[in-house]
Chains A and B, each alone.
Chain A
Amino acid sequence: MTGVGEVAAFWILATITVGSAVVVALVRDLVRAVVALVGSFLGVAGLFILLSAEFLAVVQVLIYAGAISILMVFAIALTPRSARDNAETAMRWLALALALAMVGLLIAVATVTEWGPQAKEGFQETASAIGEALLNRYVLPFEVASVLLLAAMLGAVVMVRED
C-alpha cells in the first residue's frame, strides 16, 4: 500500500468490518446481529478490492453478504421465539478468551511466516485468470462440480417432496 487514499480506505474499511463484528457480538436481537454481520461481510469485500482480488470481492458479496445472511434470517425466522435472543451465557468469557487466542494465533502466523515474494506483489486480472484456469487446465474438476450439483439437487428434491 502506498498512496494516502489507499491507507485511508484501508482504515475506513477496517473500522466498518471490525465495528460491525463487535455489534454482532453485543446486540441482543438476532435479526439486528445478522444485519450488522452483512456490514462486516461488505467491509471484508472492500478489503479484498484493496488487495486487488476483485473476483474474491464479488464472490464475497454474492455468497456471504447475499446468500449466507439470507439463510441466517430464514434460520432465525424458523426458530422458536425463546431461542431468538442473543442472551448472555455462562460461556461468554470462555468465548472471549478463545476469540482472543485465535486473533493472537492469526497475527502470529501472519507475522512470523516468511511469505514468498509472490505474496508481496499484487495480483493481476484475477477474474480472467480464474476463468481461464477453470475452463482449460481445471476443466475436469469444473465438470465434476456439475455432477455434484446434480446429485445435490436430486437429493434435495427427494428430501423435501411431500408424500
Chain B
Amino acid sequence: MRWDWSLLAPEYLLAGWAALMALLGLWGRLRAYWLGYVAAAGALASAATSLIWLGDRTAFGDLLAVDHYTTFFRVTFGLIAASVCLISAGYVERFLRHHGEYYAILVVSVIGATYMAAAQELLSAYIALELLSFSLYVLASYAKMDLRSNEGGLKYMLLGAFSSALFLYGLGLIYAVTKTTHYQGIAEALAGDLGGTKGLALLGLSLIVVGLGFKVSAVPFHMWAPDAYEGAPLPVTAFISAISKAAGFALFLKLMVQAFLPLHDDWSPLLASLATVTMLLGNLVAVHQRNIKRLLAYSSIGQVGYLLAGIAALSPETANAASAVLLHLAGYVISNLAAFACVTVYYNWTGKEDIYEYRGLAERAPFVALALSISLFSLAGMPLFAGFVTKFVLFQAIAEADLLWLAAVAVFASFVSLYYYLMVMRQMYLVEPETRERLGVAWPEYGLVAVLVVAIFVVGLGPQPLFNAAQEAASLVYQGAATFAALSP
C-alpha cells in the first residue's frame, strides 16, 4: 500500500493558511479588509496546487483517491472559498468581530469538504463531514449579538448533530452487514448473497440517505435551512449554500456509485420520491417568501431536488447521470455565488434584505441589478445562461434513465422557479425607487461579480470544457466501481 503524503499538499497548504489567518487576525495594524484577500489567495493557491495531479490516478493508501474526481472538487471548493472570502471582505469588516478566526475556520472547512469528495472509505468520509459541519455551525452563529444568527446557528447545530448520529448509525449497520468500511468492499459484499441481512443493509442505507438528506437540506429534512440561511451572516449563507451542497453531493454521488450500486433497484425509487417532494416544495414555498435570503434558501432546496433526481437516475450501465449531476452542481454554485455577491453588496450599502426593498435598484445601481438578474435567470435555467445548459443535460440524463415523469416534474418546478425569480426582477426594474440617489461603487466586489457573470455566460455558451471535466471525473468514479460489475449477477 502506498502512503504518499505529498498527495495531500493542497490540504497542508490550507491548514497552514488557516493558522496564518488566526495569527494575522491578532496583528492590529493590518486592516480587516485585507484579511479577506489573503484568505482568498490561500484558497486559490490550494486549488492551483491540486492541478499538479491533473490526469493522475493515484491514491493515498486505500483511504483517499487522488484522481480527476478529487481534482474537480478540490478546484471547485477552492474557488468557492476564494469567492466567499472576497464577498466577506467588506461585510466582515463592517458587521462582524474576530476577523482572523472567521477566515481561519472558513479555510479549514475546505479540508473537510475536499476529503468528503476524496474519501474511499466510510471513516475518513465521516470525519471529513464532521469537520465541514462543525465549521459551518460556528460560522452560521458568528454574528453572536444577533438573535437571528443565534437561533439559526443553534437549529443548524442541533439538527446537524441529529443527522450525523443517523448517518453514523447507518454506517454502523452497513459495517455489520459487509464487515468493511471501504466502498469497493461494500459493493462486493452487497453484490453477493446477503441472505437474511438484506433488510439490515437497506435500513442502514436509508439512515445514510436521511443523514445526508439533512446535510444537503432535502425535503422533508430541510426545516433547518431557511432559518439558518436567514440568520447566518450573508457571506456565510453564500458559503453554506455552495459548499455544503457541493460537498454533500460529492460524497453522496461517490457513495451511491461505488458502494451502493448493487442495491440500485431498491434505492432509486426512494430517491426519486425524495427528489419529487424536494423540487415541488422548495419551489412552491419560495413563491411566498419576502426575504431575499429565505427566497434563495428555498430556491436552493429546489436545486437540491434536481440534483437528487439526477442521483435517482444513476444507472449501472452509463456515467451520464453522474456527470450531469457534477455539471449542474458547478453551474448552480457559480450562479448562486453570483446572486449572493450582489445581495451582499446591496446589504453593505443599505442593510436591507427584504425583496420589496430592492425596488428601483436598476436606477440606483444598474450593474448590481443587471448582475443579479443574470444570476437569477441562470438559476431559473433560461437559455444563454449556465443554468440552461446544465439543467438541460441533467433533465436529459433523467429522462434517458426511464424516469420521464421525474424529468417532467423537474421542468414544471423550473417554471415555478422562473415566476419567483421574475418577481425579484420586477421590483428592481419596474417599480419606482424610493429615492433616485445613486448608490456608490464597490470595486473589489464588482470585480468578483463580473468574473462570476462572465463564468455564467462562458458555461452557458461554451460548456464543452466543463462538460468534459465533469465527464472524466464521473467516469473515473465508475471505473472505481467497475471491479464489482463482473461480480454482480
Contact = CB atoms under 8 A, between A and B. Distances in A.
Interface of A: 109, 112-116, 118, 137-138, 140-141, 144-145, 147-148, 150-152, 154-155, 157-159, 161, 163
6 contacts: A137-B61, A140-B63, A141-B123, A144-B131, A151-B104, A151-B135
Nearest to B115: A144
A116 B22 CA distance: 50
B128 interface: yes
B221 interface: no
A139 to B, nearest CB: 8
Contacts of B142: 158
Nearest to A160: B144
Contacts of B197: 113-114
Contacts of A151: 104-105, 108-109, 131, 134-135, 138
Contact of B196 (A114, A159, A163): A114
B97 interface: yes
B411 to A, nearest CB: 41
B195 A114 contact: yes
B188 to A, nearest CB: 15
A152 B134 contact: yes
A103 B123 CA distance: 28
A161 B138 CA distance: 13
B60 interface: yes
Contact of B124 (A140, A147, A148, A155): A140
A153 to B, nearest CB: 10
A158 B111 contact: no
Interface of B: 8, 15, 22, 60-61, 63-64, 97-98, 101-102, 104-105, 108-109, 111-112, 115, 123-124, 126-128, 130-131, 134-135, 137-138, 141-142, 144, 176, 179, 195-197, 199-200
B127 A145 contact: yes
Contacts of B97: 163
Contacts of A163: 97
Residue with the highest number of chain A CB atoms closer than 10 Å, among B8, B60, B127: B127
Nearest to A105: B203
A147 B111 contact: yes
A152 to B, nearest CB: 5
Nearest to A112: B196
Contacts of B101: 154-155, 157-158
Nearest to A114: B196
Nearest to B130: A148
A138 B62 CA distance: 10
A148 B200 contact: no
Given A116-B179, A159-B138, A159-B144, A140 B131 contact: no
B127 A144 contact: yes
Given A114-B195, A137-B61, A155 B134 contact: yes
Given A113-B197, A147-B111, A150-B108, A155 B123 contact: no
Ranked 4 nearest A-B pairs via Cβ: A155-B138, A114-B196, A148-B131, A141-B127
A118 B134 contact: no
B135 A155 contact: yes
A155 B137 contact: yes
A109 B127 contact: no
Contacts of A145: 127
B134 A140 contact: no
Contacts of A154: 22, 101, 104-105, 138
A30 B101 CA distance: 38
Nearest to B126: A141
Nearest to A119: B176
Contact of A144 (B104, B128, B137): B128
B131 A147 contact: yes
Contacts of A114: 195-197
A146 to B, nearest CB: 10
B158 to A, nearest CB: 13
Contact of A147 (B15, B126, B199): B15
B131 A138 contact: no
